[in-house]
Each structure stands twice: as structure tokens, then as C-alpha cells.
Amino acid sequence: MNGKVILVTGGSRGIGRAVALECGRRGAHVAVNFASSADSAETVVREIEKSGGRAQSFQADVGDVRQVEALFDRVISHFGTVDILINNAGIMENKPLDQVSEEEFDRVFRVNVKGVFFCCQQAVRRLAAGGRIINIGTSVTRVMLPNYSTYAMSKGSVEQLTRVLAKEVGHRNITVNTVSPGPTDTELFRTGKSEEQVRSLGAMSAFNRIGEPEDIARAVAILCSEDAGWISGQTIFVNGAFTG
């Protein structure tokens, strides 16, 4: 990954942060996107630089198409190119279907689906041959958990986009895959959950624990590598054998 330019959306916290740090350690130049957590993004940049890497933070709301276009402009102006896109930015609503408002539904799809779609569009237009697009999904699309209807629907859309787009860009040796974590120890996952609920979900994995962001980041880094050039159009569940 030496010298590859990687754009990580939602790279200031959680899985995105872990991905940015892992790729930075492996020699990538990292564009750390954030929506509002400027201080957290700068902390990630400093950590990458301390390890000898190169990084820069970039503010943009990926649910806004104009901001997505401007984000790619600024990243390319700074680094000269974009080789790899990690679509990590996402939000969650965790409540029964009959309690989800239209506003909440639209907010989830604005970030989780529209954001991914138009970031992919910019990547298709700007990535060089041999690039990588990796979307972050969820194992909830395969496990029937109550209260996740909106989130699961949005991430199911991402899986289908991955499959179609892989066929569209394969002639340029660009791979497109989805990495789908199970329960992972992030602020997004823990919001609204008791410790008992967290332990219960951890018990659904083969290792009797929830995942760590670094578990997901290492899998993403593998898909960024040249060795993963024959893997495309796949949804890869990185979840410690998490089952319902």
C-alpha cells in the first residue's frame, strides 16, 4: 500500500478511524473525511504522521452531492490522486418499524445509501485503473434482529450496489466489495444499548465477544492490497461467526 492514496469517509471515529490508522501504518497516504468531528479527525491525522505516514483531514457531509464532489476535488488537489475509496460513513436508527418517522428514515438513507452511491460515482470517474472501492455494510442483513429495519434496508442497498458496480468497473481492474462487520465496539454500536445487551450480542459470535474496530480494519486492508485483485462483487462478513 506504499504511496496509495486512500479516502476514508467517516474516518474520525470507530471503524473508519481504525481503517485510517491501519492503512497509514501500511504506507498509504490517508485522506480522513469527517462531518463534524474535526478534533477527532485531526487526532487521527497526527497519529498517522507520528508513525511516519502522511495524512490530511477533509470536512464534508457525504449526504450532500455537491460536498462529495468538492471532497474529491480537495483530496486530489492535496494528494494528486485517489486510489482507494472506503465508504465507511454511516448512521443508525435502532427502534421498532412502527416508531420510525419519515425524517429518521430519510436521514439514514441520505447518509447510508445516497452518500455511498455518490461517493462511488466520484470514485468511478476519478480512480485510476487498478483502484479499490470498499463499502462498509453490516451482518444485520443476514441476522433477523428486531428494531434494525431501517439500518438493515440501507445496508442491503449497499450490498446490491456493490454487486452491480463491480461489473461496471471490472474492465478497469477496479474491484468493489462490501465488508460487513458484526457487532463491533464503537460509539455507534453502543448507543442505546445496555452492557447486558452488548454481552448478549457478543455471545452470538464464536469467540464470545463483540468485535474490535481493528478486526475490521485488517480485513479492509487485505482487500486494498494487490493480492485481493481477483476478489470483487463480494459481501464479506467479518463478524467472528456471528449468528442469530
243 in a structural domain = no
pLDDT tens profile 204-237: 999 999 999 999 999 999 999 999 999 999 999 9
pLDDT of residue 243 exceeding 90, the answer is no
Q: Is the dihedral of CA 117, 15, 176, 151 positive or negative?
A: negative
Identify the residue whose cell numbers are 494528494.
79
Position 28 scores a pLDDT of 97
pTM of the model: 0.95
Position 119 scores a pLDDT of 98
182, 210 Cβ separation under 8 angstroms = yes
CATH assignment of the domain containing 157:
3.40.50.720
pLDDT tens profile 57-100: 999 999 999 999 999 999 999 999 999 999 999 999 989 999 99
Position 19 scores a pLDDT of 98
Position 244 scores a pLDDT of 64
To the nearest whole percent, how much of the chain has pLDDT over 90?
Answer: 93
Question: What type of residue sits at position 51?
Answer: S
Position 187 scores a pLDDT of 87
pLDDT of residue 40 exceeding 90, the answer is yes
Marked catalytic residue, from 151, 189, 237, 242? 151
Count the neighbouring beta carbons within 10 Å of the beta carbon of residue 206.
10
244 in a structural domain = no
Average of per-residue pLDDT values in the chain: 96
Range of the structural domain that residue 155 is part of: 5-238
151 catalytically annotated? yes
Cell of 91: 448512521
| Number of domains comprising the chain | 1
15, 212 Cβ separation under 8 angstroms = no
Between residues 45 and 243, which one has the greater pLDDT?
45
Report the alpha-carbon distance of residue 87 to residue 97 in Å, rounded. 26
pLDDT tens profile 170-197: 999 999 999 999 999 998 888 888 999 9
116 in a structural domain = yes
Report the alpha-carbon distance of residue 67 to residue 61 in Å, rounded. 6
Give which of 224, 209, 41 is closest to 134, Cα–Cα. Answer: 224
